[in-house]
Structure 1
């Protein structure tokens, strides 16, 4: 008999449609696991968002964060932080707090049309590999405080942070993924204007590329790349980008592939992973029974693939493939983080 695989996965429902789509994803995983008696999943429900505010007085209580330390991975539902009472509305979101605590530097966002959907780019099959800890986003780029400040009421400023270490590790992530796909990486930058920051990102990625001679590499300005994606999105394989550019490009490619509402996403560090769909909480449709859970289901499928690598358990990859085939039969596999150890 195969060696038992015991997994502890957190369930953080979140706000809006989160309590609908996250349990749906867990149910799909349970159904796929049922035919593998050697696999057992323990689900741990942890409060965040409005549920946590009502019970603990804050959207991401310390008990939730402490519990995540002992879990293999977790599924995070969307949060509606814009509706939180102050001071929480103006502070780091629950997802941002978790990403920062666990140094989840990689945000992997595949873009591929699903069977039965109408897509602008129906043959697109690419992955945006987004650096998740630096750049211009003020909630991620400072150890203490915010990267945004106002020296006067009429002047707002922002600090962008790009370090060699962050560029190197996200570049390795992108090239490893490309090595398992069509062996092509495009580096997104704006080095003609942001010469030092995105120039450093481009140059470090090109240096890392030398360690992957089997993977072809090119680099494009972010604005030109966006236009090329609209015109010929199916010609790209893996795109690596700093934080904000990666966010913009992955939203664009998700929409080109059908809808950002069905786009999966995985956040990961070297030792932890979190499934979190690309879409938001959609509070206007919550409770109506019309929320589509496919993005969370596919994000959870990516989580299982990541766990198969971390634990060296091929059965987790088999379960992931079962889920993916059911969601979109006949399509190529969605590639995930390959640096788990």
Structure 2
């Protein structure tokens, strides 16, 4: 029997509702499967934890997490309690950086029963591979002077190692899909980093002659996400470009509430972390109407990561069966509750 020890961090807002719902589903999968068992250990790290302890996680938090096979995160942030730059850098980004989770994976596809805002989405199925460790989100920079002379400098950092790692991950992934990789660039406007990005992309692509390759400037690519999303398979992008594209991806699916993500450690030294794209949504916290699909689809990505692709595919099938049957939360134009959707998915899992 495969046993997986998972650290559960519900975090803030609706994370406290969708994480338990998704854990119920994962336990139901384990029960049906028979050869898989989860051990979840919950950690209360959140903005409320910060107010009590003055930190988002204890000083030995990363050491504790390093003993787990994976991390299942809900949402981080409540700006009414703690500024975002403190909450995110104290928990989410700290885990990403310290655990060398250098790849961020975010899919976007048409889901049965969920109405895309696009008139003719044509069954798009995109996977964005986002470089997750440097780029435009580096911590290199500073500020000087005050008043009208004040200057802020933010340096984007692109290393060959991280750039090539993301690109090879994208090509390897596409080899299992539709053999088409698109590079997000802006070398016609950004003088140094993007020509470097283009050069590395062309060099890496030579090792994958069977895979179609193309480069698209980010402004055009953002437009194509809306007008022609079905033309894409795997997209590799820098930290900022990948972040923006995947929010567009969530929008064209129908709701950010259904978008999943995975932060992958590729060297095996530390656990990977799985989290939905949506935030903590404090405006609907406690109302029982939070959409659990983003977190449940994230659970599917966690199953894939642990080599349980068949179970992951079945879970996604169950999600689509339930949404196709009309079990939709209010963000999708329905009236179902978090519990309605979760229970329906569990019932469908038991049928198969």
Q: If the length of structure 2 is used for normalisation, what is the TM-score?
A: 0.85
1:136-215 paired onto structure 2 within 5 Å = 136-137=136-137, 141=138, 146-153=139-146, 154-215=150-211
Q: Deviations over 1:244-286 (max 9, x none)?
A: 0010111111211222221111111112321110111101110
CA–CA distance in structure 1, aligned partners of residues 57 and 80 of structure 2 = 15
What's the CA shift for 1:329? Answer: 4.2
1:102-113 paired onto structure 2 within 5 Å = 102-113=99-110
Say whether residues 1:76 and 2:107 are aligned partners.
no
**What's the counterpart of residue 318 of structure 2?**
326
Instruction: Decide whether the 8 Å contact of 2:48 with 2:81 is kept in 1.
Output: no
CA–CA distance in structure 2, aligned partners of residues 88 and 226 of structure 1 = 27
**What's the counterpart of residue 304 of structure 1?**
303
Instruction: Decide whether the 8 Å contact of 1:275 with 1:302 is kept in 2.
Output: yes
- Change in Cα spacing, 1:168 to 1:81, as seen in structure 2 (3 Å) is farther
**What's the counterpart of residue 127 of structure 1?**
127
**What's the counterpart of residue 339 of structure 2?**
none
Q: If the length of structure 1 is used for normalisation, what is the TM-score?
A: 0.87
Higher mean C-alpha deviation, range 319-328 or range 161-170: 319-328
How many residue pairs are counted as aligned between the two chains?
Answer: 314
Name the SS for the 2:33 alignment partner. Answer: coil
Name the SS for the 1:289 alignment partner. Answer: coil
Higher mean C-alpha deviation, range 320-329 or range 211-220: 320-329
Stretches of structure 1 that go unaligned for 5 or more consecutive residues are: 309-315, 332-341
**What's the counterpart of residue 333 of structure 2?**
none
**What's the counterpart of residue 41 of structure 2?**
44
CA–CA distance in structure 1, aligned partners of residues 322 and 19 of structure 2 = 25
Stretches of structure 2 that go unaligned for 5 or more consecutive residues are: 324-352
**What's the counterpart of residue 221 of structure 1?**
217
CA–CA distance in structure 1, aligned partners of residues 84 and 316 of structure 2 = 40
RMSD of the TM alignment (CA)? 2.0
Instruction: Decide whether the 8 Å contact of 2:13 with 2:78 is kept in 1.
Output: no
**What's the counterpart of residue 243 of structure 1?**
239
Name the SS for the 1:171 alignment partner. Answer: helix
What's the CA shift for 1:32? Answer: 1.0
Name the SS for the 2:276 alignment partner. Answer: coil
